Amino acid sequence: MSALAAGASGAPNPPAFSKSEMMIVAAARELAGQRVCFVGVGLPNIAVNLARLTVAPELELVYESGAFGAQPARLPLSIGDPTIVTGATAAVSMFELFSFYLQGGLVDVGFLGAAQIDRFGNINSTVIGDYDHPKTRLPGSGGACEIAINARQVFVIMRQSKRSFVEHIDFRTSPGNLGGAETAARIRKEQGWLGRGPSVVVTDLAIYHFDESGEMRLDSLHPGATLDQVRETMGWQPKIAEPLATTPDPTAEEMRLIREVLDPEGAYTK
Amino acid sequence: MSALAAGASGAPNPPAFSKSEMMIVAAARELAGQRVCFVGVGLPNIAVNLARLTVAPELELVYESGAFGAQPARLPLSIGDPTIVTGATAAVSMFELFSFYLQGGLVDVGFLGAAQIDRFGNINSTVIGDYDHPKTRLPGSGGACEIAINARQVFVIMRQSKRSFVEHIDFRTSPGNLGGAETAARIRKEQGWLGRGPSVVVTDLAIYHFDESGEMRLDSLHPGATLDQVRETMGWQPKIAEPLATTPDPTAEEMRLIREVLDPEGAYTK
Amino acid sequence: MTKVASMRDAVAECVRDGDTVAIEGFTHLICFAAGHEIIRQHKRDLTLARLTPDLIYDQMVAAGVARKLVFSWLGNPGVGGLHAIRRRVEAPADGGAFEPLELEEYSHFGMVGRYTAGASNLPFFPLRSYFETDLPKANPLIRPIRSPFGEETVYAVPPLKPDVTIVHAQRADAAGNTQMWGLLGCQKEAAFAADRVIVVVEELVDESVVRADPNRTVIPGLIVDAVVVEPWGAHPSYVQGAYDRDNHFYRDWDAISREAASTQQWLNEWVYGVAGRAEYVEKLGAERLAGLKPSGSAPSGEVDYGVYK
Amino acid sequence: MTKVASMRDAVAECVRDGDTVAIEGFTHLICFAAGHEIIRQHKRDLTLARLTPDLIYDQMVAAGVARKLVFSWLGNPGVGGLHAIRRRVEAPADGGAFEPLELEEYSHFGMVGRYTAGASNLPFFPLRSYFETDLPKANPLIRPIRSPFGEETVYAVPPLKPDVTIVHAQRADAAGNTQMWGLLGCQKEAAFAADRVIVVVEELVDESVVRADPNRTVIPGLIVDAVVVEPWGAHPSYVQGAYDRDNHFYRDWDAISREAASTQQWLNEWVYGVAGRAEYVEKLGAERLAGLKPSGSAPSGEVDYGVYK
């Protein structure tokens, strides 16, 4: 993950950046205009904090651990860091968090990572292989199952590879667009879900959104990434937007914030 | 209610006491050995506070309004008096109170009043007459319905009359022994209720417990009350214990506590 | 962005004819100031939800704002009945002067469960109440539900999602982050369940006061539409640490409300006759207010959240 | 009547072979001291329940106390997997050295709902999770339930009633009235759901400290069996206001736990090799402890409950 890509936008003195940094920046930009974001463990943590300092100053962070309106004095190392409580506007029980904030429909964007994802944005974070005799036992749902169902929309952030972007996931931990947009919309409506499902997938190579059929569509290639690279790291032939965009380089300010303010030790960006 | 009865126990200088005072004292004494008592509005409020000062010093009071371990600096005038919160060990939401304390089975004794009661301890506190066109609209359940189901046992405290001790109640707000002990025990077991139902009824004339068939049995007549008075104020022929006891007079200490400490203004005992 | 508004503007904007309105607070923190403003603005056809309608809904019903009550205990605690409401419930046919009032009745826990389901977007809330009682017959919205584990049947109540919930509290910041202490009732659940929320506070505080003690926050600004600063806004109910319950008024109301005429006279004097809560408070007089102040201070003590840099 | 006990006595009396044990705390207030004592006392066949098994259950599983996990997220947060647990889950057949470990899996909200149902004596708790996922196939205790209002189907989880719940907190009085601040997790629900409760605190305080702020009380003494005073008892987890999470240890554990042998060596040194938490703390050393103290104080401020005489 230390591969550096030179800026491709022709800007003067483009800062060098890693694939992880590009992924974080791209995810942060997608949060423009959003209001309430549910923050899970890992990359979402830094992406949402970057968004709050750039495109979404009004963004309210709801930490899965129960802190609301956090003003961390340092980049929280985990979603349970004590720095997210001191100075927060509220610290609540998990019952309240999951019942009233998440299931109650107050969360605009839920972030999910994934071990496997399919073309309809259905997600596996439970096991690779058979459930009873797994090849790899993954962490499991945590809050992912209920975030996928209840957050108004879902952002996925993950690195892509043949093992992670697959035709068929081994276990469905979090429902996406199920077998397609029509079924998904019907079920979400019938069941009174407040969430509309996945809306964006940001990887180390590209940005995807979901088209009318509920399928992932490649919309923007990160600088330095190629269509061949994308195809080699997916288990299906992706739909491709016309025209296909190139993700703008991280700005100098975005890079400064990541490297000097948010993650000076490189915990997320190594 | 200002009728005074001379003490019948032959004690020297027996204090004069009203029927209400006798009723409060008798109810308080029944709390001996109990640990956690759910305090509703009205007479139970003074009875449990008297018990705590006499026969049940370890009694923990759970106020329906959400205060636990209250140490009121004055006799609380209502169950929502601010004096029950200041200095309490806990003040909790009603969700927590009803879910964890009451339905969770932590309450040993729940106190209920009633507009009507039948021989099996089923209670009406909703309407007199037809529900849709009532002769008298009463307050309704409040917490009475769930207290009857969930408290380990239920104490009833009420004045008796032909209108209140009836063959058939007009509306069942709180289940007692239903049609008899056998049915009641079966349903409580099948349904996983933690409560065993009503165990004592204290009136201005007498004390009743429930026999094996689940029916109210007259066990003790208050001093000055007669069997005739009891029969004239009940809608059915009561079972009568052999031998029938006489409730011991209020002691001087009990009277002092009521009149000087708990209710110097006579709000409950007029 | 401040949400601070006058009571007049908050009620005018948030409360609409035909709405379901919940002014919650169990004995504590009942916002009479908001109820009176709703009366003054002649709102109509409201469905009023509260565990205990208390004097505030008796007054609102007497003033003709309501067509329906959703409740669990209908009385003047420790005093007796609610006469204005009973006039419309007990004599709907012969008393031509009084339109019938629709009642929808639960138990306390049922109402708490309804708000909880509303706040949680659950289609129902299960509880052990109601079995072998007549309440499910009186209210067909109380329905049995079989446990998928074993043989037990419990009852379910439907979600209650008020159009507007109004809660009173000790303090909030301008964004609506609200803290309260003492009896909490189901203020939180009722607020999260509502489409719109008005918070009425004794004191507006800086955001830093709220942030110093995040566990004390009961309602986040996120769900709040208006913050109204209205000292003594809960009188004759009370505010822990600020003023006592005015038990004399609760007793006085029994006589005032026994007749329709005396009830209207009281409304004319104390509701229509004042511009707002400030005037009402002035009318109460300094002596009465002084008698309701706590006799001393009982500080909570401080805890330390620690700085983590 | 004091409930104060040593950790040794509390665990000896409250935790029995075969029990379902919940040591709760979401990232915050995880009682490692109790987990280590359970290991030292060679408890066996435990079912360990926790949303996030975390390092504490990885250590307990490595030490052989558990036959089953009930959980919702199995990992070392921000670091990776839990190797001792994975050794028993991924290679149950070929690795003769490791007995298989039974897993019963939910989501976070499912676990919270299970504790809530347990605490409330409800036969199930309904939630919107699980629909159109494989979780109900993997765990037949996650079952659909039809709403009695309309067409919606939600899922139900069964109550979880631990034999013993162990919670860590900032402070309690000798009767077990327990106050905590910061992230509350589901400590309360897990405690109310349990048959027996051990509370482990940083500080034993006088009853008057608790009574000064009744809204801060999370667990009433009523349900508490033992109060253990064990400063630093949550390390390497943390206690808001008292000490920070020892993130270095969370990272170190990844290497330590990769092999069964190094895991055992660590247990020998840091669990079996010390008599209790006091010795463990001494072994950590003053410098390490000093590095975990907050960099400053962040006081909550006081509120006034008022005296009402």
Residue with tokens 């509306």: B171
**Contact yes or no for D31/D23 (Cβ under 8 A):** yes
Strand partners, C169: C201
Q: Which of C123, C212, C308 sits opposite A74 (nearest CB)?
A: C308
- For B120, the token pair is 């099996």
Query: Residues C19-32: pLDDT tens digits?
Result: 999 999 999 999 99
- D26/A65 touch (CB, cutoff 8 Å), yes or no: yes
Distances (CA, A) of C217 to A13, A67, A90, B78, D108: 47, 11, 5, 27, 23
- For C202, the token pair is 């004794």
Residues whose CB falls within 8 Å of the CB of residue B189, separated by 6 or more in sequence, listed in order = none
The residue type of A188 is R
Q: Which of D158, D182, D215 sits opposite C305 (nearest CB)?
A: D182
pLDDT band at A77 (very low <50, low <70, confident <90, very high): confident
Q: What is the pLDDT of residue B14?
A: 47
Strand partners, D47: D20, D68
The reported pTM is 0.96
DSSP 8-state secondary structure symbol assigned to residue D243: B
What residue in D sits closest to A102 (Cα-Cα)? D109
In a domain, A90, yes or no: yes
What residue in C sits closest to B102 (Cα-Cα)? C109
Cα A239 off chain centre by = 20
SS3 for A117?
strand
Give the C-alpha separation, A96 to A108, whole Å. 17
In angstroms, the separation between the Cα of residue B190 and the nearest Cα of chain C is 7
Give the C-alpha separation, B243 to D170, whole Å. 57
Query: Residues B51-79: pLDDT tens digits?
Result: 999 999 999 989 989 999 988 888 777 78
Q: Give the phi and the psi of residue A117 in degrees, each rounded to 5.
A: -140, 145
Distances (CA, A) of A157 to A114, A121, A175, D37: 8, 11, 16, 40
- Give D-chain residues touching A65 at CB under 8 angstroms: 26-28, 183, 185
Q: Does D82 have pLDDT greater than 80?
A: yes
In angstroms, the separation between the Cα of residue D240 and the nearest Cα of chain A is 6
- For D201, the token pair is 């605190």
Q: Is the dihedral of CA D260, D266, D272, D277 positive or negative?
A: negative
Helices within B16-125 (DSSP H only): 19-30, 43-53, 94-96
The set of chains that have 3 or more CB pairs under 8 A with A is: C, D
Q: Does A206 have pLDDT greater than 90?
A: yes
Q: Is D104 exposed, middle or buried (0-12, 13-18, 19+ CB in 10 A)?
A: middle
Give the C-alpha separation, A147 to D14, whole Å. 37
Q: What is the pLDDT of residue B2?
A: 32
Q: Which stretch, B42-46, B130-134, C68-72, C84-88, has highest mean pLDDT?
A: C68-72
Angle between helices D54-62 and D247-256 (to 10 degrees): 30
CA angle B116, C156, C21 (to 5 degrees): 85
pLDDT band at A185 (very low <50, low <70, confident <90, very high): very high
Q: What is the pLDDT of residue C77?
A: 87
**Contact yes or no for A69/A78 (Cβ under 8 A):** no
Q: Does B3 have pLDDT greater than 60?
A: no
Give the C-alpha separation, A150 to A152, whole Å. 6
- B42/C138 touch (CB, cutoff 8 Å), yes or no: no
- D214/B87 touch (CB, cutoff 8 Å), yes or no: yes
- Give A-chain residues touching C307 at CB under 8 angstroms: 73, 86
Q: What is the pLDDT of residue D81?
A: 92
Mean of pLDDT values over C139-161: 96
Q: Which of C123, C182, C306 sits opposite D150 (nearest CB)?
A: C123
D interface test, pick of A89, A92, A94, A112 with most D CB neighbours within 10 Å: A94
Give the C-alpha separation, C257 to D175, whole Å. 47
pLDDT band at A4 (very low <50, low <70, confident <90, very high): very low
Query: Residues A121-167: pLDDT tens digits?
Result: 999 999 999 999 899 999 999 999 999 999 999 999 999 999 999 99
Inter-chain contacts counted by CB atoms under 8 A, chains C and D: 156
> Which run of H or E residues covers position D109?
helix D108-120
Give the C-alpha separation, A56 to A75, whole Å. 17
- Give D-chain residues touching A64 at CB under 8 angstroms: 108
- D223/B89 touch (CB, cutoff 8 Å), yes or no: no
Interchain contact C208–D (C-beta under 8 A): no
Q: What is the pLDDT of residue C44?
A: 96
Mean of pLDDT values over B15-21: 87
Q: What is the pLDDT of residue C130?
A: 97
pLDDT band at B12 (very low <50, low <70, confident <90, very high): very low
Give the C-alpha separation, D31 to D178, whole Å. 15
In angstroms, the separation between the Cα of residue D305 and the nearest Cα of chain B is 6
Give the C-alpha separation, B44 to B98, whole Å. 18
Inter-chain contacts counted by CB atoms under 8 A, chains A and D: 169
D interface test, pick of B38, B58, B86 with most D CB neighbours within 10 Å: B86
Cα D127 off chain centre by = 23
- For A174, the token pair is 């979090």
Q: Does A248 have pLDDT greater than 50?
A: yes
**Contact yes or no for C111/C118 (Cβ under 8 A):** no
Q: Name which of A129, A154, A175, A132 is nearest D134 in CA terms.
A: A175
In a domain, B270, yes or no: no
- Give B-chain residues touching C137 at CB under 8 angstroms: 131
- For C134, the token pair is 């007549």
Q: Does A1 have pLDDT greater than 70?
A: no
Is the reported ipTM for this assembly greater than 0.85?
yes
DSSP 8-state secondary structure symbol assigned to residue C205: -
Give the C-alpha separation, A46 to A111, whole Å. 12
Q: Name which of A100, A103, A82 is nearest A92 in CA terms.
A: A100
> Which run of H or E residues covers position C127?
strand C125-127
**Contact yes or no for D165/D199 (Cβ under 8 A):** no
- A86/C120 touch (CB, cutoff 8 Å), yes or no: no
SS3 for D277?
helix
For chain C, strand residue ranges (E) read 20-23, 46-49, 66-71, 102-105, 125-127, 143-146, 153-157, 164-172, 178-179, 196-204, 217-219, 226-229
Interchain contact D208–C (C-beta under 8 A): no
Mean of pLDDT values over A13-34: 89
In a domain, A212, yes or no: yes
pLDDT band at D254 (very low <50, low <70, confident <90, very high): very high
Query: Residues B205-240: pLDDT tens digits?
Result: 999 999 999 999 999 999 999 999 999 999 999 999
- A91/D185 touch (CB, cutoff 8 Å), yes or no: no
In angstroms, the separation between the Cα of residue B255 and the nearest Cα of chain C is 22
Q: Does C255 have pLDDT greater than 60?
A: yes
- In percent, the amount of chain A with pLDDT more than 70 equals 94
Mean of pLDDT values over A75-98: 91
Mean of pLDDT values over B38-56: 88
Mean of pLDDT values over C124-133: 97
What residue in D sits closest to C179 (Cα-Cα)? D303
Interchain contact C91–D (C-beta under 8 A): no
pLDDT band at D95 (very low <50, low <70, confident <90, very high): low
Q: Does D120 have pLDDT greater than 50?
A: yes
**Contact yes or no for C122/D154 (Cβ under 8 A):** yes
In angstroms, the separation between the Cα of residue C309 and the nearest Cα of chain B is 33
Chain mean pLDDT for chain D: 96
In angstroms, the separation between the Cα of residue A87 and the nearest Cα of chain C is 5
Give the C-alpha separation, A245 to A249, whole Å. 12
Q: Give the phi and the psi of residue C91 in degrees, each rounded to 5.
A: -130, 60
Other CB atoms within 10 A of residue A256 CB: 13
**Contact yes or no for D248/D241 (Cβ under 8 A):** no
- Check if B64 is active-site: yes
The domain tally of chain B equals 1
> Which run of H or E residues covers position C116?
helix C108-120
Chain mean pLDDT for chain B: 90
In angstroms, the separation between the Cα of residue B16 and the nearest Cα of chain C is 26
Domain CATH for B40: 3.40.1080.10
- In percent, the amount of chain D with pLDDT more than 70 equals 97
Give the C-alpha separation, C186 to A100, whole Å. 13
DSSP conformation letters of C38-80: HHHTT--SEEEE-SS-HHHHHHHHHTT-EEEEEES--SBTTTB
Q: Which of B82, B83, B91 sits opposite D215 (nearest CB)?
A: B91
Q: Which of B80, B173, B191 sits opposite C131 (nearest CB)?
A: B191
Question: Which range has the worst mean pLDDT, A40-54, A210-224, D32-46, D208-222?
Answer: A40-54
Mean of pLDDT values over A208-221: 97
- Give D-chain residues touching C241 at CB under 8 angstroms: 303-306
- B187/C132 touch (CB, cutoff 8 Å), yes or no: yes
- D72/A140 touch (CB, cutoff 8 Å), yes or no: yes
Q: Does D153 have pLDDT greater than 60?
A: yes
DSSP 8-state secondary structure symbol assigned to residue B168: S
Q: What is the pLDDT of residue D91?
A: 65
Distances (CA, A) of C139 to B140, B260, C113, C135: 13, 45, 15, 6
Mean of pLDDT values over B255-264: 90
Q: What is the pLDDT of residue A8?
A: 41
In angstroms, the separation between the Cα of residue C1 and the nearest Cα of chain B is 30
In a domain, A77, yes or no: yes
In a domain, A135, yes or no: yes
- C89/B137 touch (CB, cutoff 8 Å), yes or no: yes
What residue in B sits closest to C28 (Cα-Cα)? B80
> Which residue segment(s) compose the domain that A84 sits in?
18-254
Catalytic residue from among B64, B96, B253, B260: B64
Other CB atoms within 10 A of residue C137 CB: 11
Longest dimension (CA), chain D: 73
Q: Does C40 have pLDDT greater than 60?
A: yes
A interface test, pick of D88, D98, D116, D133 with most A CB neighbours within 10 Å: D133
Q: Which of D189, D222, D309 sits opposite B60 (nearest CB)?
A: D222
Q: Does A221 have pLDDT greater than 90?
A: yes
- A86/C116 touch (CB, cutoff 8 Å), yes or no: no
In a domain, B29, yes or no: yes
Q: Which of D71, D189, D244 sits opposite A95 (nearest CB)?
A: D189
Strand partners, D172: D178, D204
- Give B-chain residues touching C132 at CB under 8 angstroms: 172, 175, 178, 187
Other CB atoms within 10 A of residue B72 CB: 23
Q: Which of B102, B140, B190 sits opposite C73 (nearest CB)?
A: B140
pLDDT band at D97 (very low <50, low <70, confident <90, very high): low
| Chain B residues interacting with chain D (CB cutoff of 8 angstroms) | 36, 60, 67-69, 71, 73-74, 81-83, 85-92, 96, 99-100, 103-106, 150, 192, 194
- Give C-chain residues touching A91 at CB under 8 angstroms: 214-215, 217
Other CB atoms within 10 A of residue A61 CB: 23
Catalytic residue from among A64, A96, A182, A260: A64
**Contact yes or no for C39/C7 (Cβ under 8 A):** no
Q: Give the phi and the psi of residue C39 in degrees, each rounded to 5.
A: -65, -45
Q: Is A131 exposed, middle or buried (0-12, 13-18, 19+ CB in 10 A)?
A: middle
Cα B143 off chain centre by = 14
Query: Residues D261-283: pLDDT tens digits?
Result: 999 999 999 999 999 999 999 99
At the topology level, CATH places domain D7-106+161-290 in Glutaconate Coenzyme A-transferase (3.40.1080)
Give the C-alpha separation, C239 to C293, whole Å. 10
Helices within chain A (DSSP H only): 19-30, 43-53, 94-96, 144-150, 181-190, 227-232, 252-256
The residue type of C277 is R
Q: So where are chain C's domains?
A: 7-106+161-290
